[in-house]
């Protein structure tokens, strides 16, 4: 008999509450289902629901509210989403709550890419699973005060001040997350390298009032530029809209396999709308239902009613 994941979590919570011994002034907060519950040394078997905190879904979007409650916060997460979510929290609070660190799993070992050198590196450092601490306050300051200004030649953009991280996160959404498909044939590394070419175009597409991308504008500025720059060695592209770029790519000297992976305009449009929901989900506790035309998700027919992308 295989236990359901929820049963395993409930058992862990039960064991934690029944065996943990808290000291004076310490507390345990279990934020699992419904309102979080706080336990103290005097009442480990009778937790107090924290009704002032709204019930939220996955752990990814729960942890930042504790940065507001406590002076320091260390997040133990192997999920890369925790970093942009923490950065968005920093931006939302004006960069004032910066004492957040994230312990995360490195995606690869640093150093030489040769097989021999990788083997030597593993022999020196042990297992290939390596962890790192990310200082969110420092990362936030570097991105906002150094990386973005370099994309603009140090020219200020006062209308977009305070939205820089959200704009960066919209590019993360386009490169692929748990809720968005990465745009085909383009990696997050490529998008980051193209940042100086994209930032002004991204500013045109990003609405600072709604904190959303205009899908049509984003297609003809951001997405068109990404594919133009990505494949400029293979074909000379003309025109400045997504239709002409995709058409030129299909008629280019790229291999048949690569051309078969070039997305349609409809798929890219859907991905931009998915990204708009991601921004709302990561930014706001009162995030909207994703199954709406404006966000590009639909509910499948039949048993289970799973949510899927509008274009599949």
Per-residue pLDDT of the chain (312 residues; tens, 9 = 90+): 667 878 888 898 888 888 888 888 888 999 988 899 999 888 777 889 999 988 887 888 888 888 888 878 899 987 789 999 999 999 988 876 668 999 988 766 444 444 445 554 545 555 567 888 999 999 999 999 999 999 987 777 888 999 999 999 999 999 999 999 999 999 999 999 999 999 999 999 999 999 999 999 999 999 999 999 999 887 776 667 999 999 999 999 899 999 999 999 999 999 999 999 999 999 887 889 999 999 999 988 765 678 899 987
**Alpha-carbon gap, residue 98 to 74, rounded angstroms:** 11
Please give the pLDDT value at position 109. 47
Please give the pLDDT value at position 67. 85
Residue pointed to by tokens 């790192």? 132
Task: Give bridge partners of residue 299 from the DSSP assignment.
Answer: 307
Contacts of 58 (CB under 8 A, 6+ apart): none
Please list the helix, strand and coil fractions of the chain in percent, rounded to the nearest 5, in that order. 45, 10, 40
Domain limits of the chain? Answer: 47-111+124-155, 157-312
Strands (E), the chain: 27-30, 37-40, 48-49, 73-76, 100-105, 131-135, 206-207, 212-213, 297-299, 307-309
CB 135 within 8 A of CB 143: no
Contacts of 109 (CB under 8 A, 6+ apart): 118, 121, 122, 125, 128, 130
Please give the pLDDT value at position 222. 96
**Alpha-carbon gap, residue 59 to 310, rounded angstroms:** 26
Please give the pLDDT value at position 112. 43
Phi, psi of 104 (to 5 degrees): -135, 165
**Alpha-carbon gap, residue 135 to 138, rounded angstroms:** 5
Please give the pLDDT value at position 304. 66
């Amino acid at each position: 008999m295989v236990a359901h994941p929820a049963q395993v979590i409930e058992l862990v919570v039960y064991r934690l509450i029944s065996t943990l011994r808290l000291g004076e002034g310490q507390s345990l907060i279990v934020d699992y289902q419904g309102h979080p519950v706080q336990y103290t040394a005097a009442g480990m078997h009778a937790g107090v629901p924290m009704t002032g905190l709204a019930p939220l879904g996955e752990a990814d979007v729960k942890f930042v509210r504790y940065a507001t409650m406590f002076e320091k916060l260390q997040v133990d997460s192997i999920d890369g989403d925790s970093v942009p979510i923490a950065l968005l929290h920093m931006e939302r609070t004006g960069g004032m709550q910066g004492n957040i660190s994230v312990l995360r799993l490195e995606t690869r070992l640093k150093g030489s890419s040769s097989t021999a050198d990788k083997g030597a590196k593993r022999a020196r450092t042990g297992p290939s699973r390596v962890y790192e601490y990310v200082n969110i306050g420092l990362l936030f300051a570097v991105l906002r005060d150094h990386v973005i200004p370099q994309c603009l030649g140090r020219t200020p953009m006062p209308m977009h001040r305070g939205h820089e991280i959200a704009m960066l996160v919209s590019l993360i959404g386009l490169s692929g997350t748990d809720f968005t498909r990465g745009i085909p044939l383009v990696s997050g590394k490529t998008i980051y390298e193209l940042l100086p070419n994209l930032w002004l175009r991204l500013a045109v597409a990003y609405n600072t009032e709604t904190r959303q991308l205009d899908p049509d504008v984003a297609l003809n500025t951001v997405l068109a530029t990404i594919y133009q720059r990505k494949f400029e060695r293979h074909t000379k592209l003309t025109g400045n809209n997504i239709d002409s770029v995709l058409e030129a790519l299909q008629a280019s000297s790229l291999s048949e396999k690569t051309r078969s992976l070039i997305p349609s305009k409809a798929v890219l449009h859907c991905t931009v709308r998915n990204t708009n929901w991601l921004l709302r989900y990561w930014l706001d506790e009162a995030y909207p239902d994703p199954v709406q035309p404006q966000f590009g998700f639909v509910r499948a027919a039949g048993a289970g009613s799973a949510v899927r992308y509008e274009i599949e």
